[in-house]
Amino acid sequence: MDNDLSPQLPKKVYGANGGSYYAWSPSDLPMLHQGNIGAAKLALNKNAFALPRYSDSSKVAYVLQGSGVAGIVLPESEEKVVAIKKGDALALPFGVVTWWYNKEETELVVLFLGDTSKAHKAGEFTDFFLTGSNGIFTGFSTEFVGRAWDLEESHVKTLVGKQPAKGIVQLEGNISLPDPKPEHRNGMALNCEEAPLDVDIKGGGRVVVLNTKNLPLVGEVGLGADLVRLDGRAMCSPGFSCDSALQVTYIVRGSGRVQVVGVDGRRVLETTVKAGNLFIVPRFFVVSKIADPDGLEWFSIITTPNPIFTHLAGSSSVWKALSPSVLQAAFNVDPEVEQLFRSKRTADAIFFPPPN
C-alpha cells in the first residue's frame, strides 16, 4: 500500500454568484480511484437553486451547514419535497433525480459521499443535468425533442435554450419553488445531531450510526454512515472494519491527530486533520484519533450498509477475549505483565477521556 493517504481539500468544479460545486479528485487522493469512492460538496447562497440532475453513482448526502429544501424523485415515484437542515443525512440511490434550494441568508452546504463502482470514472461523480447549458436535451435535435414532448419547434427552442446557467442559478423575480411537506421526510432523511445516540461516553464522545434500521434507503445505496463527536483531548480507540469495508472520513468541525497502521505494522499515516479535510482508511487498516482541546467531529461513510468494527482497546476488544496464556505467548511476557494489561481499560467503551 504505497498510496498517499494524506487528507485533502476539494477543488472548485463550477459555480458563479449563486454558489459553487466542489469535488475531491482521484489525482489528489488516489484512494478514491482504488476504492471506487466519490466525494463532492455543494454550496448554495441565498436564493440559489441547484438545477435538477441525476448521477451515475449512489450517494449519501450530509448537510454540513444551513437549511434549505431538497427535491427528490425516486424512479417511477412522485416528487418528494424535503426540508433539510444542518445534521441531516439523506440516502440517494441510483436513478434518483434531485434539486436543491436555499432561501436563507446562511450558506447551505451539502456533502456527498458515494460509490463509483458503476460510474463512468472510478473515484468521480458524473452528474447528468435535465436543464441548463449542459442539459441532456441540448444534445438532441429539435426534431427528436419535439417528438418526445409533442411540442412545436419554436417551443422546444425556448425550453431547451432559455436557461444559460450551468448547474446552479440565482433565482430572481416571482418564481416560488414548492414548500416542503413534513410527511416527505419520513424515510428520506435522518438528523444525526438529534437522533438517539448509539454510543455515549461521558468525557469521551458520542456516535450516531446511519443504517438500514433508521434510514432503510441506505440498503439501496449500499453504504453505511456515522457521525462521531469526540470531546476535547479524548481518544477514539484503535479499530478496523472487519467486513472488508473502506472508511471515508470528512472532518466536520475541530481538529485532531490521526494515525493509521497497515500491513507489517507500518504506520502509513500520521497527521493533523482539520475541518474540511477528507481522508480514506483502506480495508483492514487500523485507525485511531485523538482530538485537540476544542474537540473533533467527523462524518464517515463505510462501504457496506451495516458495518462491523473490531476495536483493539476496551473491555469489548479482541484482547479481552483471548486467553491469558495466549496473550503471554503472543507478547512474550510473564503472567504479571499480562494481568496488568488485562486489568486496564475495563469499561466497555470505544472512546477514552483524556488522562487526569
Each residue's pLDDT tens digit, 300-335: 998 877 777 777 777 777 888 889 999 999 999 999
Fold topology of 192-309? Jelly Rolls (2.60.120)
Residue that has been written with the C-alpha cell 507489517 in this structure? 264
For residue 184, pLDDT beyond 90: yes
* Matching fold, domains 11-132+167-185 and 192-309: yes
Residue 18 has pLDDT above 90, yes or no: yes
Q: Looking at the domain that runs over 11-132+167-185, which CATH code has it been given?
A: 2.60.120.10
> If pLDDT is split at 50, 70 and 90, which confidence band does 252 have?
very high
Strand-pairing partners, residue 169, are: 49
How does pLDDT run across 141-170, given as a tens digit for each residue?
999 999 999 999 999 999 999 999 999 999
Residues 336 and 342: their CA atoms lie apart, in Å, by: 10
Q: What pLDDT band is residue 175 in, cutting at 50, 70 and 90? A: confident
- State how far the Cα of 306 lies from the Cα of 299, in Å rounded to an integer: 16
As to burial, measured by CB atoms within 10 angstroms (0-12 exposed, 13-18 middle, 19+ buried), residue 223 is buried
338 DSSP assignment: H
Q: What pLDDT is stored for residue 349 in this prediction? A: 63
Instruction: Give the residue extent of every domain in the chain.
Output: 11-132+167-185, 192-309
- pLDDT class for 347, splitting at 50, 70, 90? low
